[in-house]
Structure 1
């Protein structure tokens, strides 16, 4: 037992609480004497004590502030180890303690990122597998319906089967958008198609197709590689416009030709969008932010995310605004640069240039153009 501890034990039972102050003074005096005997001044001892306290405070700050802030930043994509909070005592940055704490943060960041990537990869693989299997079933269903409608010429049967066929087209569209978000190809390659028929193809894949009003004519053609992506994007924008406006109101489509391309404008008569919703829609439609399935909200919303992914991949742009809505609702615009358009075929070759998939037939809007 050291002399300092012996002194403390002697003083405590003798003087009780009255001698606490004197004991502290005596302890401090004895400590100073020991420091002097060990070659350390009282000032140096105080400095050492402060440094030890600073390290203790830094350890607590790491556990209670920096690590939670880092994990939150990584989970929400708002920062990294350099933006999630610094040292409580900056003078420790170049010390062994500071470097060790930075190493801890780097390891946590690496492990968290790795776990997130593994979870995202597993989620994408699972969604792709389910999407492909359900797409195959929907394709079988549509093939069977097509065969039935081609072999049976009964008006009553047509009336009963057509809603089923139309629902299958909507399901196929939803699966395509979900597949796009996981990196899947959006659909089969098509030949160049008239812009008007491309828009009608999107119209045919939504529930309220009867509310959509499209122009009577357009001389523009969409290049084959971009037909299916444009159809999907138009369908999602039309569906949003129809679902967010009264069933008794129209959804109007118009074309605006510009110097560098053409815009497909979609006007609804809905209540509009709150500023924060419009801001989030712009972010999603931009396609500039990678889509992570593990970070989707509950319930998830795929439409604008899918359009943004298609826009980023194929070079068109999508936007929404209220200022230019003709009905006080929302105007959605899909802008197609000229690089996505094709030259109109010669008049005598129109029948070959208009593939069978984009020709209208007599079985109603669900079969009018570009079926899934």
Structure 2
């Protein structure tokens, strides 16, 4: 064997071992790389799983928010537009109304806010359109029915002026009273829609203004009014005050027992005069008293489409009149003399007028003062009695009475005639019966104790 072959035989196992070791080292490095890559892939898979779970939660959140929008926020918004805010943030359409606040700055949250704003705008326009249509319809019906009622009242007045039968007058009086109540309700309904009350009057005594309100309610016989008052109401405000007093009296009478009175009193203050109406009813609950105060203030807008069922017009009409003409109305229980409710209608002095005699005297004095001389006495007219006739009247205050019990006509001013001479022809018995019926009706209306 040669030396070369021997060296090859010796080195062959050693080289194989070296080659095997190098190969093992190579595969060990490869395995480490694969393990590292597998770890990275596992981490990526875990991260992808987390992102998938987060996406699923986001989808669930958006689904819940969409369901909340459809089932809660939109119904609350519509309710708030119809009946006022309910106190929930969801009615405002802001981020505070979101069920999940983290969606506030997202595309979804902004989209939901846009939906609420659009729905609110559409509902508001629809509400305004419905309110305008309702007001137009009510005004049209009110005007047409008012014309018929005024015709009816004119016919009744003609009958009362031309007929003198006592039984006939007794039968026609309830019809006239019912017509006046119907006219009052139509006037209040028209006031709620922005219509003018419809009547212009001269300056009237405050007492007669209140009695005008008493005559327009069903239970007028239960109302007790003062016997006198020196105040006058300016003509522009007479009809509004009559309507307001009638509504407050009607409300007091309907909410108290039929056997109890409704008392009216006047309280003069520094800034005006107050008409107080006291009933003996059960009073008001706290929420009803607050609602009555809001309605009587006239500050809240009146929407016919938002009235409750059945609708109540009385306090709303008084509030509308108060806001338009400058007087104030309120209710309370603390100062009621019968433990019920006290309604107060305060009339400022700017709405009052001077009595006719005082205004004429003041005007004459002002003219005389401006001219630098004392005002001359008013010239005596033919209707004024002569001095000697005035003395005769003062000496004999009794009026001559005819055979039928009626006073006889006195002599004309300036004419001399025999006082012992009787009238040529006494009035007819029918005229006396009609006048007697009128006197009895007047006394019954003015009697405050019956």
User: TM-score, normalising length from structure 1?
Assistant: 0.80
- Structure 2 CA distance, aligned partners of 1:138 and 1:225? 23
1:83–1:167 CA distance, 2 compared to 1 (3 A): farther
1:278 corresponds to which of 283, 289, 296: 289
The match for 2:335 among 321, 324, 330 is: 324
2:198 equivalent to 1:191: no
- Contact kept, 8 Å, 2:332 with 2:341, in 1: the verdict is yes
Instruction: State the Cα RMSD in Å.
Output: 2.8
The list of structure 1 runs, each at least 4 consecutive aligned residues, that deviate by more than 3 angstroms after superposition, is 32-37, 40-53, 82-85, 347-350, 361-369
| 2:316 pairs with one of 276, 292, 305 | 305
Which residue is equivalent to 2:170? 159
> Do the aligned partners of 2:95 and 2:109 also contact (CA within 8 Å) in 1?
no
C-alpha spacing 1:249/1:55, structure 2 compared with 1 (3 Å): closer
Contact 1:162 1:366 in 2 (8 A): no
What is the deviation of 1:90?
Answer: 2.1
- 1:276 to partner: Cα distance: 2.6
Query: Deviation per CA, 1:237-263, whole angstroms, max 9, x where unpaired?
Result: 111112222222221111101111111
List aligned pairs for 1:249-264, cutoff 5 A: 249-264=260-275
C-alpha distance in 2 between matches for 1:87 and 1:267:
51
Structure 1 range deviating more: 270-279 or 137-146: 270-279
| Superposition deviation, residue 366 in structure 1 | 12
Gaps of 5+ in 2: 1-37, 362-437
Who is 1:88 aligned against?
99
Superposed displacement of residue 344, structure 1: 2.2
**How far apart in 2 are the matches of 1:83 and 1:55?**
17
Q: Offset at 1:153? A: 1.9
Cα offset for 1:203?
0.7
* Structure 2 counterpart of 1:109: 120
| 2:330 alignment partner, SS class | strand
1:209 to 2:216 alignment? no
Counterparts of 1:92 and 1:101, CA distance in 2? 10
Query: Against the structure 1 CA distance between its residues 64 and 319, is the aligned structure 2 distance closer, same or farther, given a 3 Å change threshold?
Result: same
- Relative to structure 1, the CA distance from residue 246 to residue 228 in structure 2 (aligned partners, 3 Å threshold; closer, same or farther) is same
Computing the radius of gyration from Cα coordinates, the structure with the larger value is: 2
Matched, 1:143 2:154: yes
C-alpha deviation, 1:342, in angstroms: 1.7
Indicate if the aligned counterparts of 2:217 and 2:250 stay in contact, CA closer than 8 A: yes
- How big is each residue's C-alpha offset from its partner over 1:122-175, in whole Å with a ceiling of 9 and x where there is no partner? 111111111111111110000011111112222222111111111100110011
Match of 1:59 among 66, 86, 99: 66
Using a 3 Å threshold, how does the CA distance of structure 1 residues 186 and 83 change in structure 2: closer, same or farther? farther
Summarize the Cα distance change of 1:201–1:88 in structure 2 as closer, same or farther, 3 Å threshold: same
Q: Which residue of the partner structure matches residue 109 of structure 2?
A: 98
- Name the residue aligned to 2:139: 128
Alignment TM-score, normalising by the size of structure 2: 0.67
Question: Which residue pairs with 1:3 in the alignment?
Answer: none
Deviation, structure 1 residue 307: 0.7
1:53, CA displacement in angstroms?
3.2
CA distance in 2 between counterparts of 1:301 and 1:364 reads: 32
Distance 2:120 2:443 in 1: 50
Does residue 219 in structure 1 map to residue 230 in structure 2? Answer: yes
Q: Which residue is 1:74 aligned to?
A: 81
Is the alpha carbon distance of 1:317 and 1:347 closer, same or farther for their aligned partners in structure 2, counting shifts above 3 Å? closer
1:121 Cα offset (Å)? 1.3
CA deviation digits over 1:70-112, x for unaligned, max 9?
1121121116434796112223222221111111001110111
Describe how 1:10-21 pairs up with structure 2 within 5 A.
none
Please say if residues 180 and 309 of structure 1, whose CA atoms lie closer than 8 Å, have aligned partners that are also in contact: yes
Say whether 1:346 aligns with 2:393. Answer: no
How far is the alpha carbon of 1:275 from its aligned partner? 2.6
Q: Give the superposition deviation at 1:44.
A: 4.3
Alignment of 1:347-362 (within 5 A): none
8 Å CA contact retained: 2:93, 2:117: no
TM-aligned CA distance change 1:368 to 1:227, over 3 Å = farther
Q: Which moved more, 1:216-225 or 1:194-203?
A: 216-225
- The CA deviation at 1:277 is 2.2
